[in-house]
Structure 1
Amino acid sequence: MVGPDHPPLIVAEMSGNHNQSLDRALALVEAAAKAGAHALKLQTYTADTMTLDCDEPGFVIEDANSLWAGAQLYRLYDEARTPWEWHAPLFARARELGMIPFSTPFDTTAVEFLETLNSACYKIASFENTDIALIRRVAATGKPLIISTGMASVGELAKSVSAAREAGCDNLVLLKCTSTYPATADNSNISTIPHMRQLFECQVGLSDHTMGTGVSVASVAFGATVIEKHFTLARSDGGVDSAFSLEPDELHRLVIETERAWRAVGRVHYGATMAERQSLQFRRSLYITKDLRAGERLTRENVRAIRPGFGLAPEHLEEVLGVVLATDVVRGTPLSWTLLRGSPT
């Protein structure tokens, strides 16, 4: 399902937008399926597997421009986590609705747990894309692996990709990602997608944190085969990631427009397509514009390049001026060589 022969795989990222309600989480699954998303992604961690319950410098977000300014990391992750006991019913509901459920594990205990649920594939988050041990453990499952590339240098990605392949990963997707929340179009740099695909010889997609769907749709023209977007029922409901998440109608438009973009990419082509051939008749061509008798000469007053396109091509106008007609013609007759005395045919 992933590759240039298929429409982009659309992944709805639930993240912490369930707001600690299982009913809301299930409603998110159902809304994502109704919108047409192909896959549902969770995040599997606990506050303790992510950080320490600590107020020392570095454990509190000090960036005043951050969505989470002033938040202590431990409490933020505890608020955003998806309880592990929810995973089974969420996976089951996604499968019932025809979506592929999978998750981002943030440590090896999460991988072991997700293996019991038969996760179809795995995602490595941008902030973990240099965690070689985690990448090796996930790759050892033999499942397809998606790695977000936010902040990573080419050298760091080379190490991560090599580790994944050496540990048994045969199906790898890298996601171009900008790890700001929200991201802007100006720092998305989706021109990197084809370069990344050529450099690492794998499928490349986009983990998109920008507002709206424009950047995601544009990425398809650069060859993105997987699009991941955060998803919520309504931004006004709040939640840790709601501010840069798509609502259901926006997710539905994303599915439609990315497939439309994929179909539009096509191949290099010149000349009329099959669909255009009927339109050729509306090109300009040379027509007789007055009733004329045999022996009269063609002039700019009695022959013009007009629509439709059943006469000689306009490029022949100078060539036929002054030529004598071989037969009577009426106004509105398409000019052809057979009407001219001494014509090439």
Structure 2
Amino acid sequence: MIKIANAVISKNHKPFIIAEMSGNHNHSLERALEIVDAAAEAGAHALKLQTYTADTITIDKSDGEFFISDAKSLWKGETLYNLYKQAYTPWEWHKPIMDRCKEKGIICFSSPFDFTAVDFLEELNVPAYKIASFENIDLPLIRKVALTGKPVIVSTGMANIQEISEAVETIRSTGNEQVILLKCTSTYPASPENTNILTIPHLGQTFGCEVGLSDHTMGIGVSVASIVLGATVIEKHFTLNREDGGVDSSFSMEPAELKALVIETERAWQALGKISYGPTEKEKASLVFRRSLYVVADMKAGDVITDKNIKSIRPGLGMPPKFYDKVLGKRVNQDISRGTGLHWDMIG
């Protein structure tokens, strides 16, 4: 069990849903605050920011590996520097966004991308930290975050088992045991067939920690399915309207979808229950609607039971149908009127 602010993260509590704002504010603080309002209205438990600047995440260079030329990339034709300049959340916005979250009753924390971001977020007293997939091999950054003593959520996109192990060991070596690992596929959007959520229980078993999903697929199906596999945290990118555009808008959820995610993941969690056979307390009232053996033609004492005078029908107040073959050919010991449930004390 891990606690983030007033939220408990465990399999005994409903899934913790994180709305990732990322760059979907589109350089408008007013829009960022509207995103907070919409996330809270939809029932998300937390809003997550990203804390960096273009200069803290890359350098201003427009050729070679600093230029995005991959034809499949959403950001083809951009330089890394310009992309991050578009996507970053101004640091002076963090406090008003966090204040709005507090006002709306939603938790706010962030992903830091360098040491200065951690120091800044500590000044704001964030209740937890998130390590993004692209930073999950930055062990010095992970160590600095872990040393705050606060819960650390790590996305595992692209990381092999050794790299995940190194990240977890780095956190625990500081004495911080508050680790949550999120299965993540670092493609934007991700396809369901490339998401491999069967990894979720394996992550939990291997590292002995809470697990979840950072979900870049469209819709809510993958996230809901992950709850059945033990996910206790779901993170999805969130925007007001995909048509408004923005660096992450094309694979982000809209408010109605986020609301559905909150509702359906909680339903999936409620449905897990426990291993159970036989009627539940709520089902016992329905037992009467089972089939059972009934007399379907008036009978006199001494009459032989045949397939013409008994039948397996509803309701379930007679003897179970499994005795049908055993009672055929036997005689009844009393007069029985049509519509009476058959019982052993009527036979012989």
Sort the TM-score into its range (normalised by shorter chain).
over 0.9
1:148-167 aligned at under 5 Å gives the runs: 148-167=155-174
Counterpart residue number, 2:218: 211
SS of structure 2 residue aligned to 1:58 = helix
Counterpart residue number, 1:129: 136
The whole-number CA distance in structure 2 between the counterparts of 1:6 and 1:71 is: 42
Q: Which runs of 5+ in 2 are unaligned?
A: 1-7
Q: Could you list the per-position Cα deviations for residues 97-126 of structure 1 after superposition, in whole angstroms to 9, with x for gaps in the alignment?
A: 111100000001000000000001000000
The whole-number CA distance in structure 1 between the counterparts of 2:148 and 2:123 is: 12
Aligned-pair Cα RMSD in Å = 0.6
Q: Identity percentage over the alignment?
A: 60
Which amino acid counterpart does residue 220 of structure 2 have in structure 1? T
The whole-number CA distance in structure 2 between the counterparts of 1:252 and 1:64 is: 34
1:4 aligns with 2:11: yes
Deviation of 1:138 (Å): 0.2
Deviation of 1:43 (Å): 0.1
Counterpart residue number, 1:36: 43
Q: Could you list the per-position Cα deviations for residues 159-209 of structure 1 after superposition, in whole angstroms to 9, with x for gaps in the alignment?
A: 110001112322110000000000000000000000000000000000000
Q: Could you list the per-position Cα deviations for residues 14-63 of structure 1 after superposition, in whole angstroms to 9, with x for gaps in the alignment?
A: 00000000000000000000000000100000000000100121101111
1:182-201 aligned at under 5 Å gives the runs: 182-201=189-208
Deviation of 1:274 (Å): 1.1
Deviation of 1:322 (Å): 1.2
1:263 aligns with 2:263: no
Correspondent of 2:72 among 49, 57, 65: 65
Which amino acid counterpart does residue 92 of structure 1 have in structure 2? D
The whole-number CA distance in structure 2 between the counterparts of 1:150 and 1:326 is: 75
1:281 aligns with 2:288: yes
Correspondent of 2:122 among 115, 118, 133: 115
Correspondent of 2:257 among 247, 250, 262: 250
The whole-number CA distance in structure 1 between the counterparts of 2:207 and 2:320 is: 50
Deviation of 1:275 (Å): 1.3
Q: Could you list the per-position Cα deviations for residues 291-318 of structure 1 after superposition, in whole angstroms to 9, with x for gaps in the alignment?
A: 0111111011101111111000011111
1:83 aligns with 2:83: no
Correspondent of 2:107 among 100, 109, 113: 100
Counterpart residue number, 2:25: 18
Which amino acid counterpart does residue 194 of structure 2 have in structure 1? N
TM-score, length-normalised on structure 1?
A: 0.98
1:181 aligns with 2:188: yes
Matched positions, count: 341
TM-score, length-normalised on structure 2?
A: 0.97
The whole-number CA distance in structure 1 between the counterparts of 2:185 and 2:42 is: 25
SS of structure 2 residue aligned to 1:136 = helix
The whole-number CA distance in structure 1 between the counterparts of 2:166 and 2:116 is: 23
Deviation of 1:254 (Å): 0.4
The whole-number CA distance in structure 1 between the counterparts of 2:212 and 2:76 is: 30
The whole-number CA distance in structure 2 between the counterparts of 1:133 and 1:168 is: 15
Q: Could you list the per-position Cα deviations for residues 213-253 of structure 1 after superposition, in whole angstroms to 9, with x for gaps in the alignment?
A: 11101100101000000000000000000000000010000
Deviation of 1:269 (Å): 1.0
The whole-number CA distance in structure 1 between the counterparts of 2:68 and 2:275 is: 49
Correspondent of 2:329 among 299, 313, 322: 322
Which amino acid counterpart does residue 309 of structure 1 have in structure 2? G
The whole-number CA distance in structure 2 between the counterparts of 1:266 and 1:71 is: 49
1:172 aligns with 2:211: no
